[in-house]
Amino acid sequence: MSFVHSVVTALPPYRYATSEITEKAGAWLRESSQERALFERLASSTKIEHRNFALPIDDLLALSGPAVRAAIFKEMGGALLKQVLSQAILEANLSPQEVGVLISTSCSVPTIPAIDASLVTGLGMRETVLRLPVFQYGCAGGAIGISLGRHLCATSGVTLLASVELCSLVYQGADLQGGNIVGSAIFGDGAACVVISPDRGSLRIIESESHLIPNTSDLMGYDIFDDGTHLRLDREIPQALLSAAPRAIERFLRNAGLSSGDVRWWLFHPGGAKILSSLEETLSVSREQTRWSWDSLRDHGNMSSASIIFALKGFLNDKEYSPGDKMVMLGVGPGLTLQLNLFECC
């Protein structure tokens, strides 16, 4: 068996209210009235109150090519990763030598080697630890990582799943396409770590399943140009998710001998207010059953693969669950990929 033992999170130092970000965006888009109006409309409807960034906004607005972004990610992302890994090991009362697997997920900047490589020996982990960096699952990486951790923990012992997302480094100032405008209005930066244990924890991981929605691979991802990666977010994403997610969830639960009525708590990827509210309506679940996703979105924006882990931490911290309660986590990422994880509260 595999259990979620504990979760830690961390944020970079520069925190802004949505009103401050909108003001800065006005300067960025001062020559493009249509795009400025789009940004302001999005910012007022996202339900996001604050976001954290790795750099001050003025520095983000001045970002140049891939080399600068990679250097920033290596330095600041590495520091955040060290922070959450150290704290996770301490809070779980582990020796670093007990860690058998280190899964690291990020879709911010594709550094090779991944930023975890220089930390393994520095944190005192054994040199034979199984490392698994994950990049191309995007926003689904946190939920996918828990699924991978469930399987690897059973054979290799204590597993750490760490996410470091500096989504602000993907910002492209000269790109006025809709995807970049939307991304600039919703994405934030953050890091998190989940300790997955073979024998103890607050949540038992019962089952996991990935679901690839046919004919949707072009809706979300990165376009790679000479100046780096450019965010692609199609307006058809919400409809594609809503047309596929209910059936996928129903089949997933049926295979586990359950129905949606047997699930008391739900954690949806905090990707946006429209998607969250539509999933609630489609699945006939209340805001009280999903509120940790809303809390994460409100307080931090969409932090890609880290977002679902922030929501998970909120759920565990509040301790509103009872032993035996079932909880479903839904991750969403490029592909389009749905990642479903089923938990039982302990």
3-state secondary structure of 327: strand
Pairing of strands 101-105, 159-166: parallel
Give dist(CA 146, CA 196) in Å, integer.
8
**Nearest in space to 330 (alpha carbons), one of 285, 155, 157:** 285
Residue 339: CA count within 13 A, CB half-sphere: 21
Give dist(CA 273, CA 252) in Å, integer.
24
Q: What is the DSSP letter of 187?
A: B
Question: Any bridge partners for residue 209, and if so which?
Answer: 340
Q: Of residues 107, 139, 167, 345, which has the active-site annotation?
A: 139
107 catalytic per annotation: no
**Nearest in space to 144 (alpha carbons), one of 103, 204, 201:** 103
Q: Cβ contacts of residue 44 below 8 Å, gap of 6+? A: none
Residue with tokens 């012992």, as numbered in its chain: 157
Tokens of 274: 């429209």
Q: Which residues are catalytic?
A: 139
